Amino acid sequence: GDTQHGGLRTPIVAVLGHVDHGKTSLLDKIRGSTVIEGEAGAITQHIGATAVPLDVVGEVAGSLVDPTEFDLPGLLFIDTPGHHSFTTLRSRGGALADIAILVVDVNDGFQPQTEEAIKILADSQTPFVVAANKVDTIPGWQIHEDAPIQQSLEAQSDRVEQQFNEKLYEIIGELSDAGFTSDFYWRVQDFRSNVGVVPVSAMTGEGIPDLLAVLMGLAQRYMKEDMAIDVTGPGAGTVLEVKEEQGFGTTLDVILYDGTIRADDTIVVGGVNGPIVTDVRALLKPRPLAEIRTESRFEKVDEIAAASGVKIAAPDLDDAIAGAPVRAVRGRDLDDVIADVQEELAEVAVDTGEEGVVVKADTLGSLEAMANAMEEAEIPIMRAEVGDIAPRDVAMATTVDEEEYRAILGFNVDTLGDAAERAEQDDVRVFRSDVIYQLVEEYEAFVEDIER
Ligand code: GTP
Ligand code: MG
C-alpha cells in the first residue's frame, strides 16, 4: 500500500493537548489544508487521521529533513479534540500511538487536559515531544513564515527573546512537576530519557520544520524495529468512532495498526455485549492528505494496510464501541479471533464489587482511565460501562445501602430519557465531566459533605 515503504509501516503520531491549544491548527499547517475552516465554531467534533507521506514531510521541514536519510514512509497523525476523550487511543498491549505530540499553548501553560494527557502518556509509556505553540503571540514577535525556530529566534529583539525564554522555562518547569526532565529540543541528546520541547507557531509555521524533524528522527532512531512488521497479515485495529454514514448505515472509523483489511474479510469487533462477527461491506478510504472526518467522497478500496485510518461499512455494527479492537479473521480460526477480541475487552473489564458507584464513559479507553483513577482514589465501583447514563443506571444506583455510593460518575456522556429526573427524585447524585480528575474531585467533595 501507499503507507508502506521499504517494508516499514508508518508510525502513528497522536496529537494531544488542552482545548484550543492548537492541535488541529498544527496539523492543518502541516497539511496545508483548511480543515479548521470547515468546522463548526472551529472546534473539532470528531477524531480523524491524516497520513503525511515522507516527501511532504521533506517539503515542509525543508533543510531540517533530508528525505533520503529516512526509510520510514511518513507519519500518520491522529487529531484528538480536547473536549473529547483521547483515551480511545488504545491497542493490543497498550498505546495505539507510537509517538505523541503534546501541544501546550505558551500563554496558558499546563491545563487540566494537558495534565490528563501527560498522565496517559506516562501510564502507556508513549514517547512524546512537546509543541510549545503560539510563540507568535509573544508581544513584539517578528514573523518569519515557516522558518526553523532558531533562525526566527535569532532575529527577535532581546526583549522578545527574554519573554520567549520565560514562557518556555515555565513549561519546562511544569513538565518537571509532572515527573519529566525536558529541555529545548536542540539541547536534548537522548529523546527517550528527556522530553524535547519544540517552540512552534501553528499560525505562522515557525518551528514546524523542527517539529517534523524531531518526530522523524525519534521514529527513525528508536522505532524502526517496531515498524518492521508484516503488513500483509490479517489486520488489527482500534475503533475510533462508531458513526452513522448516509448510504452505509452504522460504520466504524478505525485506525489499523497492524496487517491488512480486505473488502471481502470477515471481521470481529468489540461490542457492548461482547464480540460482533460481521462481513465487511465496503472499505472506505479518505483520499491522501484529507481528513477522515470531513471527507464525504470516500474512495472504495479493495484492501488497506497498516498504518492507516479507514472507514468500515458492515452490517450489525450498532453495538460496536469506540476504543474496542477490530480484527480481520482471514486464514485464522474464527473462534480464536473471537477469543482474542474477548480477551482484549476483558483487559479493560473493571473490578466491580457489590457496593460502589456506577461509572459510565464514552469509550473503552476512557472507561479504563476512569477505573484507574478511581482505584487510585480508593472509590469502589459497582458497575462500569461504556454508554450514556440511562434510567436503568439510576435504578442500579438506588440499590446500594450507603448514601455515598448513591452516585453515578459519567465521563464525556449524556443522560438518556428521564434519567436526570429520576436521579433527582431518587436522590441519586449524577456527576458529569470531560476531565477525569474533576469527576473524582467532585465526587470526593460530595462524600466529604456527607461525612460532615
Ligand atoms: P480543540 O480541537 O477544540 O481541542 O482545539 P485545538 O487544540 O484543535 O485548537 P485549534 O487548532 O482549533 O486552535 C484554537 C484557536 O487557536 C484557533 O482560533 C486558532 O486559530 C488559534 N491558534 C492555533 N495555533 C495558533 C498559533 O500558533 N498562533 C496563534 N496566534 N493562534 C493560534
Ligand atoms: Mg481541534
Give tens-digit pLDDT for 205-236: 999 999 999 999 888 888 877 888 878 899 99
Whether residue 98 has its Cβ less than 6 Å from ligand 1: no
* Nearest one of 327, 326, 240, 328 to 286, comparing CA atoms: 240
**Tens digit of each residue's pLDDT (9 = 90 or more) over 375-395:** 889 999 999 988 899 999 999
Cα-to-centroid distance, 353 and ligand 1 (Å): 43
| Positive or negative torsion for Cα 431, 436, 440, 445 | negative
Whether residue 24 has its Cβ less than 6 Å from ligand 1: yes
Could you tell me if 191 and 222 are in contact, meaning their C-beta atoms sit under 8 angstroms apart?
yes
Pairing of strands 308-313, 249-258: antiparallel
- Nearest bound ligand to the CA of residue 117: 1
pLDDT given for residue 286 in this prediction: 65
Percent of the chain with pLDDT over 90: 56
Is 87 a residue whose pLDDT tops 80?
no
Is 36 a residue whose pLDDT tops 80?
no
Which letter does DSSP use for residue 206 in this model?
A: T
Predicted ipTM beyond 0.90: yes
* Nearest one of 224, 238, 414 to 341, comparing CA atoms: 238
- Alpha helices, DSSP H, located in 95-134: 112-123
pLDDT band at 41 (very low <50, low <70, confident <90, very high): very low
| Residue 6 marked ligand-binding | no
| Residue 80 marked ligand-binding | yes
Residue 268 pairs in a beta bridge with: 277, 327
Residues near 100 by Cβ (< 8 Å), separated by ≥ 6?
13, 14, 15, 16, 117, 121, 126, 127, 128, 129
Is 4 a residue whose pLDDT tops 90?
no
Whether residue 434 has its Cβ less than 6 Å from ligand 1: no
**Tens digit of each residue's pLDDT (9 = 90 or more) over 297-355:** 677 889 988 888 899 999 999 999 888 999 999 999 999 999 999 888 877 767 788 89
Whether residue 82 has its Cβ less than 6 Å from ligand 1: yes
Whether residue 341 has its Cβ less than 6 Å from ligand 1: no
pLDDT, mean of residues 52-79:
82
- Nearest bound ligand to the CA of residue 28: 1
Cα-to-centroid distance, 24 and ligand 1 (Å): 7
pLDDT given for residue 418 in this prediction: 95
pLDDT given for residue 349 in this prediction: 67
Cα-to-centroid distance, 23 and ligand 2 (Å): 5
Percent of the chain with pLDDT over 70: 90
pLDDT given for residue 72 in this prediction: 86
pLDDT band at 18 (very low <50, low <70, confident <90, very high): very high
**Tens digit of each residue's pLDDT (9 = 90 or more) over 98-149:** 999 999 999 999 998 899 889 888 888 889 999 999 999 999 999 999 999 9
pLDDT, mean of residues 421-426:
96
Cα-to-centroid distance, 58 and ligand 2 (Å): 24
Query: What's the rounded Cα separation, in Å, for the pair 112 and 124?
Result: 19
pLDDT band at 57 (very low <50, low <70, confident <90, very high): confident
Instruction: Determine if the peptide bond prior to 307 is cis (ω within 30°).
Output: yes
Cell numbers placing 387: 454508554
User: What does the mean pLDDT of the chain come to?
Assistant: 87
Measuring from atom 29 of ligand 1, which residue has the nearest CA?
134
pTM given for the model: 0.83
The residue among 382 and 369 whose pLDDT is bigger is 382
Whether residue 2 has its Cβ less than 6 Å from ligand 1: no
pLDDT band at 46 (very low <50, low <70, confident <90, very high): very low
Whether residue 43 has its Cβ less than 6 Å from ligand 1: yes
pLDDT given for residue 340 in this prediction: 93
- Nearest bound ligand to the CA of residue 17: 1
| Residue 38 marked ligand-binding | no
The residue among 294 and 276 whose pLDDT is bigger is 276
pLDDT given for residue 42 in this prediction: 26
Whether residue 84 has its Cβ less than 6 Å from ligand 1: no
pLDDT given for residue 451 in this prediction: 86
Pairing of strands 94-95, 407-411: unpaired
Compute the residue count for the chain: 452
Residues near 376 by Cβ (< 8 Å), separated by ≥ 6?
none
Cα-to-centroid distance, 254 and ligand 2 (Å): 19
Residue 100 pairs in a beta bridge with: 14, 128
pLDDT, mean of residues 420-446:
94
Which letter does DSSP use for residue 364 in this model?
A: H
Is 43 a residue whose pLDDT tops 50?
no
> Which of 15, 18, 25 is the pocket-test mutation for ligand 1 (most atoms within 8 Å of CB)?
25
Whether residue 138 has its Cβ less than 6 Å from ligand 1: no
Cell numbers placing 194: 528527556
Whether residue 23 has its Cβ less than 6 Å from ligand 1: yes
Cα-to-centroid distance, 43 and ligand 2 (Å): 6
Whether residue 21 has its Cβ less than 6 Å from ligand 1: yes
The residue among 3 and 121 whose pLDDT is bigger is 121
Taking CA atoms, 155 is separated from 60, 142, 148, 158, in Å, by 21, 8, 12, 9
Q: Cα–Cα–Cα angle for 407, 435, 446, nearest 5°? A: 30
24 φψ region: left (φ > 0), alpha (ψ -120 to 50), beta (else): alpha
pLDDT, mean of residues 255-272:
94
Cell 507521506 sits at which residue? 53
Cell 502541516 sits at which residue? 30
Could you tell me if 5 and 54 are in contact, meaning their C-beta atoms sit under 8 angstroms apart?
yes
Which numbered atom of ligand 1 lies nearest the CA of 133? 27
Query: What's the rounded Cα separation, in Å, for the pair 341 and 61?
Result: 40
pLDDT given for residue 317 in this prediction: 97
Is 184 a residue whose pLDDT tops 90?
yes
Measuring from atom 14 of ligand 1, which residue has the nearest CA?
20
Taking CA atoms, 259 is separated from 231, 236, 301, 306, in Å, by 4, 6, 15, 6
The residue among 298 and 276 whose pLDDT is bigger is 276
Cα-to-centroid distance, 79 and ligand 2 (Å): 7
| Residue 21 marked ligand-binding | yes
Is 421 a residue whose pLDDT tops 90?
yes
Is 174 a residue whose pLDDT tops 90?
yes
| Residue 105 marked ligand-binding | no
Whether residue 420 has its Cβ less than 6 Å from ligand 1: no
> Which of 20, 111, 434 is the pocket-test mutation for ligand 1 (most atoms within 8 Å of CB)?
20
pLDDT, mean of residues 434-446:
92
